[in-house]
Chain A
Amino acid sequence: ALFRCQKLCARTIQALQQQGSDRRERSQQTAVKMAPSGLKAVVGEKILNGVIKSVKKDGEWKVLIVDHMSMRILSSCCKMSDILAEGVTIVEDINKRREPISSLEAIYLISPVEKSVRALINDFKDAAFTYKAAHIFFTDTCPDGLFAEIGRSRVSKVVKTLKEINVAFLPYEAQVFSLDDPNSLYSFYSSKPNKDKDKIMENLAEQIATLCDTLKEYPAIRYRKGPEDNARLADEVYQRLTAHKADNPSMGEGADKARSQLLIVDRGFDPISPILHELTFQAMAYDLLDIKQDIYSYQTTGIGNSNDREVLLDEDDELWVQLRHMHIADVTKKVTELLRTFCESKRMCTDNANLKDLSQMLKKMPQYQKELSMYSTHLHLAEACMKKFKGSVDKLCEVEQDLAMGANAEGEPLKDAMKSIVPVLLNNEIGAYEKIRIILLYIFHKKKGIGEENLAKLIQHANIQADSNIITNLQNLGCNIIAGGRNAEQTLPERRERTESTYQLSRWAPIIKDVMENAIEDKLDRKQWPFISDPAPINTTQTAVSSARFGHWHKNKSPTEYRSGPRLIIFVIGGVSQSEMRSAYEVTRATDGKWEVLIGSSHILTPTSFLNDLKSLDQVPNPDS
Chain B
Amino acid sequence: MKRRQRLISVEIRTQQFIQRSLLSHLYQCVLKEERQPDRGNLLDIGNLDLFSRPTMRDRLSNLQEVSNSHVEQMEYAESTVSDTFSNIDLEMELPHEAVVFEDNSPALEDVFSQSQDIHREIQLIRVEIKRLREQNSRMMGVTTMSTIKRDSNAIGADIKARAEGVLARLRDMDGEAHKLEEEYGSNCAVTRIARTQYACLSNGFRDTMFDYNEAEMSHRENCKAQIQRQMEIVGREVTGEEVEEMIEKGQWNIFNDNIMAEGKTARSALSQIEKRHQELVDLETRINGIHEIFLDIALLVEEQGPMLNTIQTNVQKTDEGIQEALVKLNRAKRHDKNNPFKKMFCSCFPCVD
Residues of A within 8 A of B (CB): 1, 4-5, 8-9, 11-13, 15-16, 19-20, 23-24, 27, 31, 46, 49-50, 61, 66, 71-72, 74-75, 78-81, 83-85, 89-93, 96-103, 126, 141-142, 147-148, 150-152, 156-157, 159-166, 213-214, 216, 247-248, 250-251, 293, 295, 309-312, 347, 366-367, 369, 373, 549, 552-557, 560-562
Contacts and interface: CB of A to CB of B under 8 A. Distances in A.
A97 B22 contact: no
Nearest to B316: A93
Given A150-B63, A250-B50, 5 more contacts: A5-B11, A50-B54, A81-B203, A91-B311, A156-B67
20 contacts: A5-B18, A46-B54, A49-B54, A50-B56, A61-B112, A80-B308, A91-B314, A97-B99, A101-B105, A142-B59, A147-B59, A156-B63, A295-B307, A310-B305, A311-B307, A366-B294, A367-B210, A552-B40, A553-B39, A555-B40
A460 B195 CA distance: 57
A557 B44 contact: yes
Contacts of B105: 101-103
Contacts of B97: 97
Contact of B199 (A50, A80, A98, A166): A80
Interface in B29-50: 29-30, 33-34, 37, 39-41, 43-44, 47, 50
Given A49-B54, A161-B60, A557-B40, A84 B200 contact: yes
Contact of A151 (B63, B192, B309): B63
A208 B332 CA distance: 47
B295 interface: yes
A157 B299 CA distance: 48
B246 interface: no
A216 B18 contact: no
A8 B12 CA distance: 11
Contacts of B316: 93
B298 interface: yes
Interface of B: 7-8, 10-11, 14-15, 18-19, 22-23, 25-26, 29-30, 33-34, 37, 39-41, 43-44, 47, 50-52, 54-60, 62-67, 69-70, 74, 97, 99, 101, 105, 108, 112, 188-189, 192-193, 196-197, 199-200, 203-204, 209-210, 213, 225, 229, 232-233, 244, 294-295, 297-299, 301-302, 305-312, 314-316, 318-320, 322, 331
Contacts of B44: 553-554, 557
A556 B40 contact: yes
Nearest to B115: A89
Given A80-B196, A96-B318, A164 B57 contact: yes
B63 A554 contact: no
A11 B197 contact: no
Contacts of A83: 311
Given A98-B189, A99-B101, A213-B55, A20 B30 contact: yes
A74 B21 CA distance: 54
Nearest to B102: A99
Contacts of A161: 60
B311 A74 contact: yes
Nearest to A214: B55
A421 to B, nearest CB: 42
Nearest to A560: B51
Contact of B56 (A78, A151, A163, A295): A163
B28 to A, nearest CB: 11
A239 B63 CA distance: 26
Contact of A11 (B30, B233, B297): B233
A159 B65 CA distance: 13
Nearest to A251: B55
Contact of B310 (A5, A75, A103, A555): A75
A157 B51 CA distance: 33
B220 to A, nearest CB: 11
Given A71-B312, A151-B67, A553-B44, A19 B26 contact: yes
A336 to B, nearest CB: 23
Contact of B55 (A19, A152, A248, A552): A248
Given A19-B26, A79-B309, A367-B210, A166 B56 contact: yes
Contacts of A295: 307
A98 B322 CA distance: 9
A4 B11 contact: yes
Contacts, number: 214
Contact of B60 (A79, A159, A366): A159
A435 to B, nearest CB: 36
Given A1-B10, A152-B70, A166-B55, A78 B311 contact: yes
Given A96-B318, A100-B101, A1 B229 contact: no
A367 B192 contact: no
A16 B20 CA distance: 12
Contacts of A31: 37
Contact of A147 (B18, B63, B209): B63
A455 B322 CA distance: 55
B63 A12 contact: no
Nearest to A89: B193
A247 B57 contact: yes
Contact of A556 (B14, B41, B311): B41
A310 B309 CA distance: 12
Contacts of A147: 59, 62-63, 66
A331 to B, nearest CB: 21
A75 B307 CA distance: 12
A560 B14 contact: no
A75 B112 CA distance: 24
Given A24-B33, A27-B34, A557 B41 contact: yes
Contacts of A101: 105, 108, 189
Given A12-B18, A89-B196, A312-B307, A164 B203 contact: no
B22 A12 contact: yes
Q: Which 8 A-B pairs have the closest CB atoms?
A: A151-B66, A366-B298, A156-B67, A99-B101, A556-B37, A75-B312, A50-B54, A553-B40
Nearest to B111: A89
Given A11-B232, A16-B26, A553-B44, A164 B59 contact: yes
A312 to B, nearest CB: 6
A152 B15 CA distance: 84
Contact of A81 (B34, B66, B309): B309
B213 A162 contact: no
A148 to B, nearest CB: 6
A141 B15 CA distance: 72
A506 to B, nearest CB: 32
A33 B240 CA distance: 29
B189 A159 contact: no
A148 B69 CA distance: 10
Contacts of A75: 310-312, 315
A369 B302 contact: yes
Contacts of B210: 367
Given A12-B19, A156-B66, A164-B57, A81 B204 contact: yes
A593 to B, nearest CB: 17
A79 B310 contact: yes
B18 A9 contact: yes
B106 to A, nearest CB: 10
A89 to B, nearest CB: 5
Nearest to B97: A97
A126 B332 CA distance: 12
B149 to A, nearest CB: 22
A90 to B, nearest CB: 5
Contact of A553 (B7, B43, B74, B204): B43
B40 A90 contact: no
A549 B39 CA distance: 11
A66 B315 contact: yes
A128 B229 CA distance: 73
A285 B305 CA distance: 22
